[in-house]
Amino acid sequence: MRYRIHADTVLTVDDAFHIFQPGQLTWEHGVIVSVGPQDSDASPVDQVINMAGGIVMPGFYNGHNHAAMTMLRGLADDSPFFEWLETHIWPREARLSAGDIYAGTLLAAVEMIKSGTVAFADMYFEMDAVARATELSGLRGWLCRGLIGNEDSDFAKLDQSIRFAQDWQSKASGRIVPMLGPHAPYTCSPDYLARVAQLAVENDLGIQIHLAESASEMEQMQQLYGKTPIGVAWEAGLFESRLVIAHGVHARPEDLPYLQGMSGGIVSCPISNAKLGNGIMPYAMLAGHGIPLGLGTDGAASTNSLDMFLEMKAMAWMQKLSQGRPEAFQARTALTMATRGTAEILGSPGGVLAPGRPADFIVVDGTHASMTPQIDAVSNVVYAATGADVLYTVVQGEILMAEGLLTTLDEKAITEEARNRLEHLLG
């Protein structure tokens, strides 16, 4: 089947940041055939979708998530950080069964599809359940088990991660990419990180890790190793594979030699970083040195929402704020980070609308009062739109949402299931 969509605006996020008004996008077998002005492709198609007032753009790549934590959305919000984590989150996480995590990941998938996300990177546990939910949803997932590694017994969990990788590598039409997920340098010993680095190289796997998230982590790493967290990760050999660094709030000039030329990059989670009081990622320093930068939501227990439109807003607002100049950060940069930027960090050709790229895109409704007038479509998408404006979400050419209706998942059943499981989690 070959499809074509016509819309008032097509935002490509390609090298020249082409915008076609009006424009068309044609796709077949999960891949983009052509994109351009309205009449730029006359080839016959099986189905045409006309979206007057619509904005076609790449779907979001959410570069850092703990999807199943939607089950704990809003739990003990606004508490002091360690009280929140140790008294509220960890005891509930200890109760999460594989079934809870499957249900929570489906809940997250509904929210992601509805708000225009096509791919997510996830670090959690019971990853078979996460992978099954991802497979069912139609989303792309870069999935890893979060590894705590301090004792000898923790090394055994690495075997499980390798087995998970072998199990899922070629399943779900290539939509699932297994990775290794050492949690952080304050929860994994240097020996453990080195073992992860070695296994990643041997098994050709990428790595996800939290680095330089909080001031207390910086202090602790300085005291223990006399290094920054990014320095500790380098020393352990993590930069020898694709490395997806979540946060990087406290990245420092001395980290730049490690970061320059790296495979992977830094995924900023501006809402989580603000809401937990951790700070603002030094965008200007990092971008100025060519470090690849992307965007993610972090888990819904801290961020409360998986809406990437909110992350783009938060990213732009906080950078302008921290630099004291409105011109310090541009809407196009936020859009690029949330799509192509994150896709490149994950090693995906997605996040760009161009021939030969994956047919991963969304359609945003530009007709509502809140999106009118449309003087600048990018500005409207970044600063005015929210996830509720998304009408279509398409992944690998498959329509996961059409006119707001989900095709792979049953929202009512999934929200009900999540509510039913709450009692045993909170009780």
At position 154, the amino acid (one-letter code) is D
* Least distance between a second copy and beta carbon 280 (Å): 7
Residue 186 or 317 having the CB closest to a second copy: 317
Nearer to a second copy among residue 75 and residue 287 (C-beta): 75
Minimum CB–partner distance for residue 354 and a second copy (Å): 25
Kindly state the smallest distance separating residue 75's Cβ from a second copy, in Å: 5
Residue closer to a second copy by CB (options 158, 314) is 314
Asked if 195 and 184 count as a contact pair (C-beta separation under 8 A), the reply is no
Collapsed DSSP state (helix, strand, coil) of residue 406: strand
- Minimum Å gap between C-beta 312 and a second copy is 12
Closest separation between CB of residue 338 and a second copy, Å?
A: 16
DSSP result, 150-161: SSGGGHHHHHHH
* Min dist. Cβ of residue 74 to a second copy (A): 4
Query: Given the complex with a second copy, which of 384 and 402 has the nearer CB atom?
Result: 384
Considering the complex, state which of residue 285 and residue 328 has its C-beta at the smaller distance from a second copy.
Answer: 328
CB closer to a second copy, 80 vs 174:
80
| Sheet of 243-247, strands arranged across | 60-65, 117-124, 140-147, 176-182, 206-211, 243-247, 264-268, 293-295
Contacts made by residues 338-341, CB under 8 angstroms, sequence distance 24+: 338/60, 338/61, 338/294, 338/295, 338/308, 338/311, 338/312, 339/13, 339/57, 339/58, 339/59, 339/60, 339/61, 340/13, 340/58, 340/61, 341/61, 341/265, 341/292, 341/293, 341/294, 341/295
Closest distance between a second copy and the C-beta of residue 267, in Å?
18
Nearer to a second copy, 3 or 283 (CB): 283
Angle between helices 98-114 and 127-137 (to 10 degrees): 30
Retrieve residue 335's tokens. Answer: 């859009």
Packing angle between helix 411-426 and helix 98-114, nearest 10 degrees? 140
